[in-house]
Structure 1
Amino acid sequence: MADLTGKVAVITGAASGIGLAGVEVFVAAGAKVIAGDIQDEKGRALETRFGKDKVRFVHCDVTSMDELKAIMDAAPAAFGSLDIVWNNAGHGGTPTSVEELDLDGYDQTMNLLLKQVFAGTKFAVPHMKAKGGAIINTSSISAVSAGYAPITYSVAKKGVAHFSKLAAAELSKYKIRVNAILPGFIATSIFGASLGLSREQADQMAEMLAQGGGRIQPAGRTGKGTDIAEMAAFLASDAAGFITGGEFLVDGGITVGPRHSWDETASSPVLDALGITPEQAEQLRLAQAAAAQS
């Protein structure tokens, strides 16, 4: 586990999913955490669970610039400094296609997923300029390939990844490191929430995804929030002091290539074009081998 002893972190979207895992991992690693979210009941429960000497909850709608600035200011006010920021809050955004683009939904998605990363970083910098710090931004595998999420969400997450690289260059003069994490198929409520389900229903769907998601990726299991949180903790730690401007896939290998590249039972595009199943291709191979030996 990474060592975050003596460090103070702000994590947004901290009351559930990946953010909640982040609070758990960061506190276990020795950090004090300002946990931001719009889910007040769950957020206050974090203070009860960990104690206010380790975790403080701050209501934070990251699309509100006033609230986003306030949560960055809350860290030094509560714990004396701000060493780590994890801009993690998010939602599935508008599901519409290019042809059916919901322009209001586009603006809301960009504000939630991209503008808040710009602004969260902006508001963190004054607290980090004197002694440096680490900023982690949650992007997505949808930033590197089509087919994983709606187009507006995907473009916003691509922006998050590229912003992290540019910010790493710009903020290097202050010894502020900036990196992006690109999570893969993680069993959280974001999928159900994107379908308009209630929070309770979305949480139940996350459990279902956890059971069945392993079939679609080389790692053989669905990702957990802790998989992402452990990477974030490492990037936030002094052990990652030589790492900045990076884009880190934490995706169970789902982006390594098409399914046939890692699942020998899956058909390849060439076989599909020929109208041959994997079983038929194996029979042809065996027949050819037998003929060569005769």
Structure 2
Amino acid sequence: MFEIDRRDWRWGRARDWLLGATLLLGLVIAVEFMVGWGPLLAPWHELSPWLLAWLFLLTALSYGLRARRVSEYFGARLAGRFPTVLRLSILHNTANNLLPMRTGELVFPWLMRRYFGQGLLDSGAALLWIRLLDLHFLALIALLILELGHPSWLWWLAGGLWMAGLGVLILLSGLGDSAVLAGPGRVRSITRRVLQAAPRDPWLIARVYGWTALIWTLKFAAFTSLLKFFLPTDVWRLLAGVMGAELSSVLPFHGIAGSGSYELAAVAALTPLGVEPKPALAGAVNLHLFLLGSTLLLGALAFLLPGGGAACSQVNAKSSA
């Protein structure tokens, strides 16, 4: 039975890469027939190197803040090793941007165990809560887009209520110690440890959420500014396009380095707002090229940062389950 599961797993990975390669090839063909690669890339010659450097700096800073957020979340366990946390964070995000079907998320718990001796399950549970905070703030950006496109006091009310919902984190984390959970023993154990991984201290939640807000604010500022150069339109439409591209990772299909799925999601977000498909596709491709270029450069620089062995000489087998 184990061998069958292993073969299925291997086929699943091969299938992911095949689907990713198909999306990449489809994107190359679609761009050539709809826009043409020459006309699509031509505006780069007019882009100011200083503007490009500034947008890259904002993107790099958002990566640094991701590392700061991880350090904040885990506290004393990562104290004094920020360069290594920065290396981990950059490599994790590099893998996320390059590997298909979000398999790059697996790099985070793996590197946490390798560098800091942190259990795989505990690291994965913490990453889950961080991703939930990401989605929470992205929902606020979505409300901002609605407010900019169709102003109404309802969006401000919705935003206030949405922010108040962060208090649920405190309640959920408390359940990890006291709740009576249903289900098989192993399921109960995993569920309890996931709940226990939630940030409990309100001040810690505020700090981690503050870093989350800064991370996405910098990234959206950089990406919206670049997209506006290639696709002159209203800011709220540009924000919607960037939002669609960023959320492409949750699609049931995902190309190699996001190719195809990233552009499709951006175009799908822009065209209902009145943007023509061809310029939307050109803008999305150029935005993606900037993302991939930044990813590769930062990923290469990350190897200059210290890695080292785990902080703990031995990882508990149960924590690594």
- TM-score where L is the length of structure 1: 0.28
- The structure that is strand-richer by fraction is 1
RCO comparison, higher one (Cα < 8 Å, 6+) = 2
